[in-house]
């Protein structure tokens, strides 16, 4: 191996220099080793005792310097090292570029691009910790070091996998030598890592003198092995040569060639812009049903706005059965063409009205705008998919839309389960509308520039190609509608399939924030596979895996259920391409109209499985999610199986050529970036247990409350999680029960209130029972550790199912039982009686342990049996928070074994139409003071007598001159109530 440098001089030929590209790798290796060697020599000779000293010990306990101390702290070694590294960087950048070119030459365009990008980023990260030392700016130095170490495994993996020459290449032996050196360097590199970590912990945590020396020696070993790994590239670069020669000036300057329509850069830009537009489309589709159901919940009945769910289907039908079809129909009968790119751009621009509608204050107007946008997007998607079908590129277009779907999941995963461009958001509660609109305008630009527009121009549709069978039409449309429904039901949020198996504490399964990236990664993998193997989604193996996934998801809990969810995430995206290939053999606008109608019907039936009390006759769907999903799965599998035998299936083959390679490269890169972004979210949103502490631990105070939040919508049809967190934080609630809070279903947008509230309020969260249990849900948020929690379905023979959470909290070292429940409505007295009897049994069996009840009971105070009041407090052996408060109907608070200090009710305002009820209690330190049968503080202090203590209710909610619907305030009492022992035996109040 050598540079192979030669000078050629011939008669009549320009003088030139040629050499193998290996010289850049050799120069990089020599300069790299020299820079570290010179710095080490200078440091050892000039500042030995200073560079071996650390914050724990010095010489003679520590006798070998670390890399950072050697190269970053003293003159002249720091300056000499940085000068030599600057000289090394030029050779390194050229070496990285040549390695990327080499991989591209071997037919690995994506691998070459990834190799080059990773190498450049890694070099920049290296420079950020070499040239910015810890003494200059510790955070920047550490971030640069962390980025460098994080990119190192990816760099090594790409070098080991992307530089292999073809088997017929004469450079195979050279590559084998390079691989041997790389493997040895990588193995030794990672073999040193655990020992290095061990000695660092012994130094940092155990503070043992001398341990940092061993750590430093291993650190130097990593430096040597890192440079050695890159030195192996000299063998690979023997396959390239560099020539320097004199070039005569041309007679006349030539204009640079204009990029062609198949230029990789143009294709890349086209794919990125189409993915962004697909993201806006999925966001609009996912928002339509929850915006509709908001009015059903507010009105407690169906009043006609529910018909907006048919907007996509109706718009497609109008276009396909009216003269409007001429705008999209080509000269060939039933062949759908793209409108002029300008018209397409204007339609896409009109569809962005759903993003801009967040500024509209009226909920009805926002719903109308979003429905209209969904109608436009349904037409655009049908035309887009149809045109791709005709050009035999349906798998590419389907992959682009699936990447947009993955992007929708990543955006809401990073935004606490809300897609940031929904019209139910604004700048105050997680909206990114302005930025999204600006980016959307940029993404629309290629539609208005002919040289950038990449709509395929080839049409292969013929009348004879249309499938004549109406049975096939119905089956294909039904299967595609089921696919759209299951995507929205299971895969419109990364946490939905996790919530299906959640059973509470102790945690025995996945968690939404921590493991949501698994769902995103699985969908990304499925998208990548379907692009490369478009027929795989119609295979019997995939269909079998899908059935297994649905069964595990609905039948089991915890990890088995999550495995089922991952199988659904793996198989469902794969099925899109064969389903579209089969369906679009018919009239595309009409079959897509039918598919959207099937989605609307299934979504409506899915709502009725839980909301069967809303409409007459809906009882037939009560708790039949399993049956409905089974029918959907059968229709889906029949449709997929039918696509196998259709003549059009033969056209499902991977594309070839430069344009196809550019599309594949863009899709794969975008998927990798999305998964990488998703993998960062759990670290950013991690909430360490040490950060979860009650507000007043010194006084052993517990502030608890109950609130019915009506599915996270405020009275203006905005997501209410941010507004909820502000008032809950102001009240300093240690425990809060939230009712009507299960949003993991399409009717509520598959959202999750607990993701924002738990992180913002720094609380443990338990949500239950799961969405497959057909309840409106209950949530427990606690600043005390949850020892155990059980989810209950309370007896409900007539009305809707009632949820309850029975948890045991570690409350200042005392196991305390807490029940959060939502009983049935006034229309079902037997249900309420049986449900309250079950709650009383749970509380009675927990006796004499301290207990709290936070629930929705629906009864008048002191109402005799069979009303729930006496059953709850007498049979459950609880004390009412204030038996004299006769102005209650739904929400009640109870306690035993704690000392009652205060009670306050906070008016509803516009966050929801239900007030917050709270009480303050004190957990006695002595067991003898925790008498479960007696209220230790029965005396109500006069209104306005407030303790002078940090734990007292905030005065900011005392607003006598403000009506209860104008802001949050204490109501019906202007001030909170406080309690004390009888005057004859009153001790000092707690401080």
pLDDT at 61 over 80: no
- The helix (run of H) or strand (run of E) holding residue 920 is strand 916-922
- The helix (run of H) or strand (run of E) holding residue 380 is helix 363-390
Six-digit token pair at 817?
């039982």
Task: Decide if 141 is inside a domain.
Answer: yes
Q: State how far the Cα of 632 lies from the Cα of 653, in Å rounded to an integer.
A: 28
Regarding whether 289 and 200 lie in a shared domain, the answer is no
pLDDT at 990 over 80: no
What residues contact residue 620 under an 8 Å CB cut-off, 6+ apart? 612
Tell me the CATH number at 275: 1.20.1250
Regarding whether 701 and 625 lie in a shared domain, the answer is no
In this predicted structure, what is the pLDDT of residue 983? Answer: 65
Task: Decide if 692 is inside a domain.
Answer: no
Catalytic: 822? yes
Regarding whether 729 and 632 lie in a shared domain, the answer is no
- The helix (run of H) or strand (run of E) holding residue 822 is strand 814-822
**Highest mean pLDDT (candidates 7-11, 39-43, 612-616, 934-938):** 934-938
Tell me the CATH number at 811: 3.60.10.10
- β-bridge pairing 6-8 and 16-20: antiparallel
In this predicted structure, what is the pLDDT of residue 757? Answer: 96
Q: State how far the Cα of 874 lies from the Cα of 847, in Å rounded to an integer.
A: 13
Q: Among residues 684, 716, 743, which one ends one of the domains?
A: 684
- How many residues are given for the chain? 991
What is the tens place of the pLDDT at every residue in 964-984?
A: 777 899 998 889 999 998 765
Task: Decide if 252 is inside a domain.
Answer: no
More confident residue, 644 or 934: 934
DSSP for 43-79 reads: HHHHSHHHHH--SS--TTT--S--HHHHHHSSTTHHH
Domain of 327? 264-684
Task: Decide if 259 is inside a domain.
Answer: no
Q: State how far the Cα of 534 lies from the Cα of 578, in Å rounded to an integer.
A: 7
Regarding whether 388 and 316 lie in a shared domain, the answer is yes
Task: Decide if 990 is inside a domain.
Answer: no
Task: Decide if 333 is inside a domain.
Answer: yes
* Active-site residue, from 822, 879, 899, 968: 822
Chain centroid, CA 391 distance in Å: 34
Task: Decide if 991 is inside a domain.
Answer: no
Q: How many domains does the chain have?
A: 3
Regarding whether 647 and 533 lie in a shared domain, the answer is yes
Using CB atoms within 10 Å of the CB of residue 661, give its burial: 0 to 12 exposed, 13 to 18 middle, 19+ buried: middle
Give Cα separations from 138 to 121, 200, 220, 423 (angstroms).
Answer: 20, 18, 21, 42
Regarding whether 233 and 156 lie in a shared domain, the answer is yes
Task: Decide if 839 is inside a domain.
Answer: yes
Regarding whether 462 and 391 lie in a shared domain, the answer is yes
Six-digit token pair at 542?
């995939």
Please report where in the chains the tokens 């907006």 appear, as a residue.
308
pLDDT at 191 over 70: yes
Q: Among residues 216, 245, 274, which one ends one of the domains?
A: 245
Nearest-10 Cα torsion for 281, 282, 284, 290? 170
| Phi-psi category of residue 761: left, alpha or beta, with phi > 0 → left and psi -120 to 50 → alpha | alpha
In this predicted structure, what is the pLDDT of residue 282? Answer: 97
Give me the sign of the Cα torsion angle 43, 47, 53, 54: negative
Regarding whether 673 and 581 lie in a shared domain, the answer is yes
Q: What is the mean pLDDT of residues 527-532?
A: 92
Q: State how far the Cα of 361 lies from the Cα of 718, in Å rounded to an integer.
A: 10
Regarding whether 714 and 674 lie in a shared domain, the answer is no
What is the tens place of the pLDDT at every residue in 410-446?
A: 999 999 999 999 999 998 999 999 999 999 999 998 8
Contact 820/706 with Cβ under 8 angstroms?
yes
In this predicted structure, what is the pLDDT of residue 330? Answer: 63
Closest-CA residue to 606 (of 719, 712, 488):
488
Regarding whether 911 and 765 lie in a shared domain, the answer is yes
For residue 969, the tally of other CB atoms under 10 A from its CB is 19
Six-digit token pair at 641?
């199986």
Q: How confident is the model at residue 9 (pLDDT cuts 50, 70, 90)?
A: very low
What is the tens place of the pLDDT at every residue in 99-126?
A: 888 888 887 777 778 888 888 888 888 8
Q: Among residues 245, 275, 296, which one ends one of the domains?
A: 245
Regarding whether 363 and 512 lie in a shared domain, the answer is yes
Q: What is the mean pLDDT of residues 238-258?
A: 56
Give Cα separations from 42 to 39, 53, 64, 606, 936 (angstroms).
Answer: 5, 16, 14, 74, 76
Regarding whether 736 and 632 lie in a shared domain, the answer is no
Q: State how far the Cα of 432 lies from the Cα of 279, in Å rounded to an integer.
A: 13
């Amino acid at each position: 191996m050598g540079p192979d440098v030669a000078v050629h001089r011939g008669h009549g030929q320009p003088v030139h220099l040629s050499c193998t590209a290996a010289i850049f790798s050799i120069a990089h290796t020599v300069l790299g080793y020299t820079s570290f060697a010179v710095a080490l020599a200078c440091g050892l000779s000039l500042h030995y005792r200073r560079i071996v000293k650390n914050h724990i010990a010095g010489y003679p306990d520590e006798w070998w310097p670390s890399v950072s101390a050697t190269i970053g702290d003293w003159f002249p070694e720091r300056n000499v090292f940085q000068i030599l590294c600057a000289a090394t960087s030029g050779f390194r950048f050229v070496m990285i570029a040549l390695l990327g070119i080499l991989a591209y030459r071997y037919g690995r365009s994506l691998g070459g691009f990834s190799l080059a990008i990773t190498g450049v980023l890694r070099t920049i990260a290296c420079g950020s910790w070499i040239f910015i030392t810890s003494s200059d700016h510790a955070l920047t130095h550490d971030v640069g070091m962390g980025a460098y170490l994080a990119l190192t495994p990816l760099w090594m993996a790409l070098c080991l996998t992307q530089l292999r020459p073809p088997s017929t290449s004469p450079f195979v032996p050279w590559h084998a030598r390079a691989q041997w050196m790389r493997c040895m360097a990588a193995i030794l590199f990672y073999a040193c890592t655990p020992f290095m970590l061990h000695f660092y912990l012994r130094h940092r945590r155990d503070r043992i003198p001398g341990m940092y020396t061993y750590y430093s020696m291993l650190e130097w070993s990593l430096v040597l092995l890192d440079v050695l790994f890159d030195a192996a590239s000299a063998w690979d670069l023997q396959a390239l040569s560099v020539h320097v020669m004199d070039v005569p000036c041309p007679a006349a300057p030539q204009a640079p060639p204009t990029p062609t329509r198949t230029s990789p850069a143009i294709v890349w830009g086209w794919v990125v812009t189409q993915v962004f537009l697909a993201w806006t489309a999925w966001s609009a589709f996912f928002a339509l049903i929850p915006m509709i159901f908001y009015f059903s919940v507010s009105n407690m009945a169906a009043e006609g706005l529910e018909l907006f769910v048919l907007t996509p289907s109706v718009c497609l039908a109008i276009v396909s059965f009216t003269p409007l079809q001429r705008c999209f129909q080509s000269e060939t009968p039933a062949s759908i063409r793209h409108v002029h790119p300008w018209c397409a751009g204007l339609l896409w621009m009109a569809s962005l009205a759903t993003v801009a509608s967040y500024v509209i204050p009226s909920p009805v107007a926002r719903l109308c705008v979003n429905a209209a946008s969904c109608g436009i997007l349904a037409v655009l998607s049908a035309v887009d998919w149809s045109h791709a079908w005709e050009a035999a590129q349906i798998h590419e277009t389907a992959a682009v839309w699936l990447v947009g779907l993955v992007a929708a999941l990543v955006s809401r995963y990073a935004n606490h389960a809300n897609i940031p461009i929904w019209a139910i958001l604004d700048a105050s509660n997680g909206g990114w509308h302005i930025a999204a609109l600006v980016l959307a305008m940029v993404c629309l630009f290629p539609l208005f520039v002919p040289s950038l527009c990449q709509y395929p121009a080839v049409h292969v549709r013929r009348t004879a190609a249309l499938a004549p069978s109406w049975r096939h039409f119905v089956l294909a449309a039904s299967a595609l509608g089921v696919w759209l429904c299951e995507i929205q039901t299971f895969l419109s949020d990364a946490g939905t399939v996790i919530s299906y198996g959640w059973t509470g504490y102790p945690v025995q399964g996945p968690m939404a924030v921590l493991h949501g990236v698994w769902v995103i990664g699985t969908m990304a993998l499925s998208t990548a596979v379907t692009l490369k193997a478009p027929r795989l989604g119609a295979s019997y193996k995939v269909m079998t895996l899908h059935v297994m996934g649905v069964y595990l998801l609905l039948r089991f809990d915890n990890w088995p259920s999550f495995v089922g969810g991952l199988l659904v995430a793996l198989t469902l995206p794969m099925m899109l391409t064969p389903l579209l290939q089969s369906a679009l053999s018919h009239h595309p606008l009409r079959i897509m109209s039918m598919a959207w109608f099937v989605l609307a019907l299934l979504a409506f039936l899915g709502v009725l499985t839980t909301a069967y009390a809303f409409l007459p006759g809906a009882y037939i769907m009560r708790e039949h999610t399993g049956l409905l999903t089974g029918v959907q799965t059968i229709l889906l599998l029949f449709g997929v199986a039918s696509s196998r035998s259709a003549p059009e299936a033969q056209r499902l083959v991977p594309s070839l050529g430069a344009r196809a390679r550019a599309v594949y490269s863009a899709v794969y890169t975008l998927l990798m970036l999305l998964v990488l972004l998703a993998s960062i979210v759990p670290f950013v949103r991690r909430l360490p247990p040490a950060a979860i502490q009650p507000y007043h631990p010194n006084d052993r105070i517990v502030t608890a409350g109950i609130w019915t939040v009506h599915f996270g919508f405020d009275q203006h049809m905005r997501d209410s999680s941010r507004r909820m967190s502000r008032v809950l934080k102001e009240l300093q609630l240690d425990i809060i029960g939230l009712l009507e809070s299960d949003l993991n279903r399409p009717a509520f947008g598959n959202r999750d209130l607990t993701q924002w509230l738990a992180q913002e309020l720094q609380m443990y969260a338990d949500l239950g029972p799961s969405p497959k249990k057909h309840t409106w849900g209950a949530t427990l948020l606690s600043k005390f550790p949850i020892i155990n929690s059980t989810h209950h379905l309370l007896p409900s023979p007539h009305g809707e199912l009632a949820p309850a959470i029975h948890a045991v909290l570690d409350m200042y070292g005392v196991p305390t039982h807490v029940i959060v429940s939502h009983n049935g409505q006034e229309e079902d007295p037997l249900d309420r009686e049986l449900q309250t009897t079950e709650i009383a049994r749970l509380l009675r069996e927990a006796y004499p342990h301290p207990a709290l009840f936070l629930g929705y009971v629906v009864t008048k105070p002191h109402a005799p049996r069979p009303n729930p009041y006496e059953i709850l407090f007498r049979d459950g052996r609880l004390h009412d928070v204030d038996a004299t408060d006769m102005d209650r109907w739904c929400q009640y608070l109870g306690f035993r074994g704690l000392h009652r200090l205060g009670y306050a009710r906070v008016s509803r305002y516009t966050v929801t139409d239900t007030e917050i009820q709270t009480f303050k209690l004190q957990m006695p330190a002595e067991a003898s003071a925790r008498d479960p049968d007696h209220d230790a503080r029965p005396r109500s202090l006069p209104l306005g007598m407030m303790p002078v203590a940090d734990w007292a209710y905030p005065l900011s909610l005392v607003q006598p001159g403000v009506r209860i619907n104008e802001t949050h305030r204490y109501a019906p009492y202007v001030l909170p109530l406080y309690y004390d022992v009888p005057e004859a035996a009153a001790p000092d109040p707690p401080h």
